[in-house]
């Protein structure tokens, strides 16, 4: 199995940027498809982005497309989420997740696809 630890969260003004990291340990990182999710206060956790094992393909929610970029460095066992042009509605706890499943990347918005989760990192965007 894999253990996931997120970092890089913080407070930023609208229009600013943050880069989140997710450090993985345990089983070989490159054997997992990876995703980012977020949960805002009083709301359900929602999909943000996903990436294939070799980083060659990515998939985003419409709410972040064009502003966020998911990437990974398999040599460093680390997943990233570069967040630009942040908005107050991006305020949430951000979670990384790992999946051992194969198939279409477009189903990776489903939380049921992921078997491993980090504890999250808080992102707060002020107006």
Summary mean pLDDT of the chain: 96
Closest CA to 127 of 15, 40, 23: 15
Where does the pLDDT of residue 42 fall: very low under 50, low under 70, confident under 90, or very high at 90 and above? Answer: very high
Per-residue pLDDT at 84 exceeds 90: yes
Per-residue pLDDT at 104 exceeds 90: no
Where does the pLDDT of residue 73 fall: very low under 50, low under 70, confident under 90, or very high at 90 and above? Answer: very high
Percent of the chain with pLDDT over 90: 93
- How would you label 9-46 residue by residue, b for 16+ Cβ within 10 Å and e otherwise? beebeeeeebebbbbbeeeebeebbbbbbbeeeeeebe
Residue of 21 and 102 predicted with greater confidence: 21
């Amino acid at each position: 199995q894999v253990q996931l630890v997120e970092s890089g969260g913080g407070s930023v003004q609208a229009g600013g940027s943050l880069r989140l990291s997710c450090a993985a340990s345990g089983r070989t990182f490159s054997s997992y498809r990876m995703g980012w999710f977020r949960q805002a206060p009083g709301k359900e956790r929602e999909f943000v982005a996903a990436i294939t094992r070799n980083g060659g393909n990515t998939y985003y929610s419409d709410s972040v497309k064009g502003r966020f970029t998911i990437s990974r460095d398999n040599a460093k066992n680390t997943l990233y989420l570069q967040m630009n042009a942040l908005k107050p509605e991006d305020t949430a706890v951000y979670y990384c997740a790992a999946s051992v499943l194969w198939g279409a990347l477009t189903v990776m918005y489903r939380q049921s696809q992921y078997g491993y989760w980090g504890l999250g990192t808080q992102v707060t965007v002020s107006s």
